[in-house]
């Protein structure tokens, strides 16, 4: 796996102001591979390891070339279910330059911008490096899960522009990449066990992927991206824990209490089993492989509510990236897909004292850093959060 030197550089200031176990863990984290988020058009083309093109050039220079994982994340009307990580491409632009989620339509202009100024550039870079560097891509986190669980939400499934952006944008991205670089392993985002792991939600997700007609181009699915759900232990079957006789099995540990709601996916390992079962039944010939984000799975019981997702207090980094998984024929890898240390979203007031323009009330949850007195304010999503990365290191279980 490729270790991006830009992540090591981000850790330097936090290491310099740490001591003891935290400092030792942060130092060790400098050598850990992480995915690189293509969260803006500007991150695709360029030299140096802050750009997709430069990262692949660096990875190609290694002997042997090292596997690089990128997160494709820039749909029009991105992150319709939250405000913290809204994107730069909009179906309709508001006067402040951000996305106007009150506007409907077919998102024609936003999709054209996404295709011509973002995906087409990614395809050009892949064309240059395919066959020289092993590459995997995670496709558009949170997008399809939001359409599944927010079918009537005015920003998501109830907005015709957002629906068009997500469905057509993802289809274009997958088909365009597959046409030029079929050997690139693409993993479509599948939310996480607490979000989509219920039987009906998983079924609805399968139906949506089937409607898009892209499964033949996918290597599999990515779960727990930027989330905090427990990795857990895989049971003999995906619905094992719904049997009362199995509830005391170690694989049925349920820190989020989802089993009592009829959700069989009490952890990400069992969610992988559930996805395998559902897709095998729902899309003929598609046997998805799974990649699980373990970047922040080191602690499993730190939240009052597992619906809270923003800068969770008391979390820890989890299992280091590895292809040695508990179900290797199904789970391809555990990987740090969300970069540990990058904020999930801002507090109402930024560290500078200015109001945060992308404040999401979920980032003021009882579990979020910054919601208690004496805690620092959190920066915007994707920016370095020193206080959080030190907690992640303090509570690490790698």
Of 108, 274, 127, nearest in space to 203 by CA: 274
> Tokens for 394?
């303090």
Pairing verdict, β 220-223 and 68-72: unpaired
> Tokens for 236?
């003999």
> Tokens for 128?
């240059």
How many CB atoms are closer than 10 A to CB 227? 24
397 is known as an active-site residue: no
Of 302, 323, 322, nearest in space to 311 by CA: 302
Cα separation, 275 vs 198, in Å, equals 11
120 is known as an active-site residue: no
> Which residues have CB under 8 Å from 167's CB, separation 6+?
147, 211, 212
Cα separation, 199 vs 23, in Å, equals 43
CA atoms within 13 A on the CB side of 357: 6
> Tokens for 24?
């030792």
- The catalytic residue among 58, 79, 332, 344 is 344
DSSP 8-state class, residue 119: I
**Angle 21-27-28 from CA coordinates, rounded to 5°:** 90
> Tokens for 310?
């923003």
Pairing verdict, β 135-139 and 220-223: unpaired
- The catalytic residue among 58, 79, 142, 293 is 142
**How would you list the strands of the sheet with 331-335, edge to edge?**
36-38, 68-72, 135-139, 185-189, 220-223, 289-293, 331-335
Q: Name the burial class of residue 254, with classes exposed (0-12), middle (13-18) and buried (19+) by CB atoms within 10 angstroms of its CB.
A: middle
Cα separation, 10 vs 385, in Å, equals 10
> Tokens for 336?
């740090």
Centroid of chain to Cα 278: 21
User: Active-site residues: which are they?
Assistant: 142, 344
């Amino acid at each position: 796996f490729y270790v991006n030197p830009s992540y090591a550089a981000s850790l330097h200031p936090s290491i310099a102001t740490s001591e003891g176990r935290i400092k030792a863990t942060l130092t060790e984290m400098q050598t850990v591979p992480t995915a690189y988020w293509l969260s803006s058009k500007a991150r695709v083309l360029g030299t140096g390891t802050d750009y997709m093109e430069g990262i692949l050039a660096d990875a190609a220079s290694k002997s042997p070339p090292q596997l690089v994982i990128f997160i494709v994340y820039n749909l029009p009307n991105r992150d319709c279910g939250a405000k913290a990580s809204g994107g730069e491409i909009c179906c309709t632009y508001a006067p402040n330059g951000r996305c106007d989620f009150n506007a409907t339509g077919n998102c024609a202009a936003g999709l054209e911008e996404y295709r011509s100024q973002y995906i087409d550039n990614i395809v050009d870079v892949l064309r240059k490096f395919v066959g020289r560097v092993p590459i995997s891509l995670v496709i558009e986190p949170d997008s399809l899960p939001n359409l599944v669980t927010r079918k009537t939400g005015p920003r998501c499934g109830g907005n015709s522009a957002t629906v068009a952006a997500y469905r057509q944008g993802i289809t274009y991205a997958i088909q365009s990449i597959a046409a030029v670089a079929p050997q690139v392993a693409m993993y479509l985002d599948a939310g996480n066990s607490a979000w989509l792991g219920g039987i009906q939600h998983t079924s609805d997700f399968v139906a949506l992927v089937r409607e898009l007609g892209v499964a033949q181009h996918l290597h599999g699915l990515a779960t727990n991206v930027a989330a905090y759900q427990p990795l857990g232990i895989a049971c003999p079957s995906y619905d094992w824990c719904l049997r009362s006789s199995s509830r005391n099995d170690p694989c049925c540990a349920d820190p989020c209490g989802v089993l009592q709601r009829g959700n069989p996916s009490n952890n990400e390992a069992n969610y992988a089993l559930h996805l395998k079962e559902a897709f095998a039944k729902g899309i003929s010939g598609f046997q998805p492989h799974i990649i699980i984000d373990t970047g922040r799975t080191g602690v499993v019981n730190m939240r009052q509510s597992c619906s809270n997702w923003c800068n969770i207090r008391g979390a820890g980094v989890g299992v280091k990236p590895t292809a040695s998984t508990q179900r290797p024929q199904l789970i391809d890898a555990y990987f740090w897909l969300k970069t540990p240390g990058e904020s999930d979203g801002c507090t109402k007031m930024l560290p500078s004292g200015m109001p945060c323009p992308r404040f999401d009330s979920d980032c003021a949850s009882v579990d979020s850093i910054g919601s208690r007195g004496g805690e620092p304010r959190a920066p915007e999503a994707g920016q370095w959060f020193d206080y959080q990365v030190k907690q992640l290191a303090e509570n690490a279980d790698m």
